[in-house]
Amino acid sequence: KNEVEQSPQNLTAQEGEFITINCSYSVGISALHWLQQHPGGGIVSLFMLSSGKKKHGRLIATINIQEKHSSLHITASHPRDSAVYICAVRPRGGADGLTFGKGTHLIIQP
């Protein structure tokens, strides 16, 4: 069974801090997604990656395929980064849809 574990479950930090959210999964995958969900439900896709590292603005996502682990980093965090961050993976072969982690609730205090 494909499982996706995220840590931490909840994270409160001060504005400006460097944030790291971790995601571990149990099966071979074809791609890993990092998603952001704000209150109200809207989901935005932040990254989709299958190897290496991607950067977009203050956000950086890395993946280690051998260790089945990915991290999402936020540099110079800001209160507007407060949201739920969700990791999702698509198993290799594509026979199943995305499997999601439970999400990390991030609060950035001014």
Partner 1 sequence: KAGVTQTPRYLIKTRGQQVTLSCSPISGHRSVSWYQQTPGQGLQFLFEYFSETQRNKGNFPGRFSGRQFSNSRSEMNVSTLELGDSALYLCASSSQPGQGEGNEQFFGPGTRLTVL
The footprint of partner 1 (CB under 8 A) covers 30-31, 33, 35, 41-45, 48-50, 86, 88, 90, 92, 94-103
57 or 97, CB closer to partner 1? 97
Nearest approach in angstroms of CB 43 to partner 1 is: 4
Spatial distance between the Cα atoms of 79 and 67, rounded to a whole number of angstroms: 32
Structure tokens at 98: 């995305």
7: three-class secondary structure by DSSP? strand
Amino acid at 39: P
- Which residues neighbour 92 within 8 Å (Cβ) at sequence distance 6 or greater? 27, 28, 29, 30
77 or 85, CB closer to partner 1? 85
Nearest approach in angstroms of CB 89 to partner 1 is: 11
Nearest approach in angstroms of CB 23 to partner 1 is: 13
